[in-house]
Amino acid sequence: MSEADAAVLSIADLTIIRAGAPLPELERFSLQLNPGQTAIVLGETGCGKEALFRALCGASRPDERISGAIRFGSLGPALPQDRQGSGLRVAYLPCVDQGVLSPSADVLSQFVRILARRLGLPRASAREELRLALGRIEGAPPVAALRGRPGSLDPGVLAWGFLAVTLAQSPDLVLADHALSQLSPMQARNIAGAIIAAQKQLGFALLYAARGTLATTWLGGRVLVMRAGKIVEEGPAERLASSHAHAYTQMLYKSATVQSPVQKHTIRGEPILQVRGLRFAAKKSERNTADGITLDLRRGASLAIVGEPGSGRRELMRAMLGLDKPAAGRTIFDSVDIGILSRSMVSRLRRRVAFITGDDDVLDPRMTVRDTVEEPLRAHLNLSREHVAGYREAALKRVGLNSIPGERTVAMLSSFDRRRLQIARAIVSVPRLAVIEEPQRGLGPLEQSVMIDLLKDFRAQEGPAFLILTANFALARALADDAMVLKDRHVVERGSLAELVRAPQDAYTRRLIEAVVPRPEEGLSQAVLQG
Amino acid sequence: MTSAAAQLAPGAAPPLRKFARIAGFAGLGAIAVLAGASGVIARAPAGAAGIGPALRPPSFDFLFGTDLLGRDVASEILHALTVTAADAAIAATVVLAAGSLFGFLAARLPWRIGDLGLWLMGVLNAAPALLLAILFVGLSSREYAPLAAGLAAAPAAFLRAFAKARELSRSRHAEYARASGIGAMALLKRDLAYEIRDDGISTAARALAAVAITLSTLSFFGFGAVPPARDLGLMIGAARATYFDAWWTAAFPALALILFVFCARLAAGLDEGERP
């Protein structure tokens, strides 16, 4: 049997042209995947991988014209819709926020329904299959953890669920569509490890669409770097990350690597945020509170609270800023004890706080770009539209959104544009404190790099103190001076960030660091990752 | 494969719905012109009897025929349409103020006052709007039938607006705005402005269709328009005695009412008010 006959997926000269588009979405794309092999299609949004995956899933848009051949298994050239006839089991592993699940229904019952349909089983049997699949994956949560609506579950738990549904189908080919994005580095690393282990056991071929280069580190295999519908180059990840790669590939890898540490800012005097013995619960009903947390954040300083989702970092921030009532302790923000203030006074005090998050829903989708940036000025200072126009335009220019029509609504913007819009909104409000939570989540490497540069510029020019909530030590290292590692609402370790990265004392801290800076034996060398 | 840019802007309507809205507004506009110019267009003044022989079927002389008193049905329909449209406009305004606006504000009231309003309106909404309207007419008088019809339709509008306002106030973007010090009043103004812009016309047109049916039914049963003013419901009700011998006396007013309601529903974009 020839190598071509053994292939589970053969794509030859696949070209996808969208009606009215000046350039093809995908141009003469060829790929062959044999059982057990991994191929990662790496590129930014719009590079062609989306069109490729749509074609592979048989979900191309009506205005897309496809030429070339896609062959599943050993059958002759076939359309994607015909792949059922090939006897090949193809499973789709989506990104957790892709909207695959209904937001209003229980996740477990949805997974069971998907599995029952895919395997042609009664639901009770499908549920048992799912339970067994979860049990076989090391590190996966029990099936009961999938109870709840998608919005109420941790993205990591959802990702484990999706993986279990995929593996329960005993696939020959897995099409993974940004399956590791939206996860914290440690979650991504654990799930990537589980995929590799399952691949060794089941022997499936894996085609992974990636925006970030970290997936190439964890999954290995062959990487196809794409840009504007064409393959720029392909090869093993280690070679592509080296200086011998194409300039575009180097740029992708360098922008995603551990950022150069933040330049030490001068601590400018008095503290902006003083937290004393703060205790908080994960839920209002819960009596189990964290240790009393004490910290100081001075004007212009930057502190990263590093921990996985569920570590209590968000609850800590909410308690600190008076968004939730703490169980004990006090917070002094800008020389005012917020515990003694009324709700309206706390709200007024929070005008000095800006939020920049990796959540695309934090901006009102109905608002225009112009209104979104102007709102803090107009609501806080009652300024007229004419008075704020100059500030608005300057802020939009700084984040590179000045070319977007001001009347465009937020709903029409991309994730990257929405994040930059959040920064523009923060710039005009000239805050004393900026709370930054995973602003790079779900973005491509170049976009992440731009976000970090914009945040650095924001800090340098407006001088707010940064409170960074993240699970990503690379982000913390790029933006923060100090760090506090949080696990299960307890402070595991704290100190200067450079010192923590250099010599972590706690195993959890070490795991968090290694999730973004792998050990040499795990794949790419640290030197390569650090560019 | 997700792309935020691919999402439709809120309020953006699919082409078919846009077309329905345009057609609905064109129809309502035509009805408004006809109603406004009824004094000029109509062959006879309102209620003028003996214009022709009694119960004359539709013909070239009398396009929609005549009724038992020899009144020209076409002229009567034009006059009745004026009454129906004017009363429906008043009732729809009541629905918007006492239902939609109140519901939107009530969702943000503190100390569970809003929840109390929700409960009360839920109870009222459980009763058929027509029976509520009859009750309100009984408590006041037939002259206040438009007010009664508006108040009877208000609970449903209140519940829709309340649910929407609660959803908005619990959204991530509202939480984000509150966290960065945007006050409750600023948020309310913002939500109200966008709601009026995106849904105001649909809500008003939907209310217009609902109250037109309620008002006509009230008049049909004799609880609505007070003679000599006659609306379409009263015309249909008056034609009950002659319907099986002279179908045109009831069928044409009924068609006019259907056309009015249909145009209002088209103007609402055939939107039931529920969102996915």
Model pLDDT, residue B9: 38
Q: Which residue has the higher pLDDT, A527 or A130?
A: A130
Q: Of all helices (H) and strands (E), which one includes residue A38?
A: strand A38-42
Model pLDDT, residue A521: 46
| Cis upstream peptide for A464 (omega within 30°) | no
Alpha helical stretches, state H, A321-441: 343-349, 369-381, 385-398, 415-429
Give the angle subtended at the CA of A113 by the CAs of A107 and A118, to the nearest 5°: 125
Model pLDDT, residue B1: 37
pLDDT in tens, A119-146: 888 999 999 999 999 888 888 888 888 8
CATH hierarchy code of domain B16-37+64-267: 1.10.3720
- Tell me whether B39 touches chain A (CB under 8 Å): no
d(CA B229, CA B82): 10
Domains of chain A (ranges, CATH numbers): 271-515 (3.40.50.300)
CB–CB contact A350 B180 (8 Å): yes
With an 8 Å Cβ cutoff, the interface of chain A facing chain B consists of 45, 50, 53-54, 59, 95, 97-99, 177, 321, 323, 344, 347-355, 357, 359-367, 375-376, 379-380, 409, 411-415, 418, 429
pLDDT in tens, A377-399: 888 877 777 788 888 999 999 99
Q: Mean pLDDT throughout A215-231?
A: 85
CB–CB contact A414 B3 (8 Å): yes
Model pLDDT, residue B35: 87
Residue that is written with structure tokens 């705005």 in the block? B177
Q: Mean pLDDT throughout A23-42?
A: 89
Q: Which residue has the higher pLDDT, A86 or B89?
A: B89
Neighbours of A122 (CB within 10 A): 10
Model pLDDT, residue B72: 93
What's the pLDDT band for A268 if we cut at 50, 70, 90? low
Q: Which residues 151-180 of chain B have a CB within 8 Å of chain A?
A: 171-180
Model pLDDT, residue A262: 53
Name chain B contacts of A429, Cβ cutoff 8 Å: 180
User: DSSP letters of A77-145?
Assistant: SB-GGGGGGGT--EEEE--TTSS-S-TTS-HHHHHHHHHHHHHT--HHHHHHHHHHHHHHSTTPPPGGG
Contact A306, A340 (CB under 8 A): no
User: Which 3 state secondary structure label does DSSP give B272?
Assistant: coil
Q: Mean pLDDT throughout A17-25?
A: 85
Interface A–B counts its CB contacts (< 8 A) at 92
| Low-confidence spans in chain B with pLDDT less than 50 | 1-12, 273-276
d(CA B104, CA B79): 36
Model pLDDT, residue A261: 54
Q: Cα-flanking dihedrals φ and ψ of residue A324, to 5°?
A: -125, 150
> Would you call A332 exposed, middle or buried from its count of C-beta atoms within 10 A (0-12, 13-18, 19+)?
middle
Q: Which residue has the higher pLDDT, B27 or A8?
A: B27
Model pLDDT, residue A75: 60
CB–CB contact A411 B182 (8 Å): no
Contact A349, A333 (CB under 8 A): yes
User: Shortest CA distance to A366 belongs to which of B224, B100, B74, B11?
Assistant: B11
d(CA A426, CA A437): 14
What count of Cα atoms within 13 Å lies in the side-chain half-sphere of residue B66? 20
Model pLDDT, residue A456: 92
CB–CB contact A409 B7 (8 Å): no
Model pLDDT, residue A342: 84
Neighbours of A246 (CB within 10 A): 14
What count of Cα atoms within 13 Å lies in the side-chain half-sphere of residue B49? 4
Model pLDDT, residue A260: 55
Contact A42, A216 (CB under 8 A): yes
Model pLDDT, residue A518: 56
Q: Is the pLDDT of residue A23 over 50?
A: yes
d(CA A38, CA A219): 8
Q: Mean pLDDT throughout A324-341?
A: 86
Quote the minimal CA–CA distance from A212 to chain B in Å.
15
CA distances from A486 to A7, A63, A239, A281 (A): 46, 49, 36, 14
What's the pLDDT band for A286 if we cut at 50, 70, 90? low
What's the pLDDT band for A85 if we cut at 50, 70, 90? low
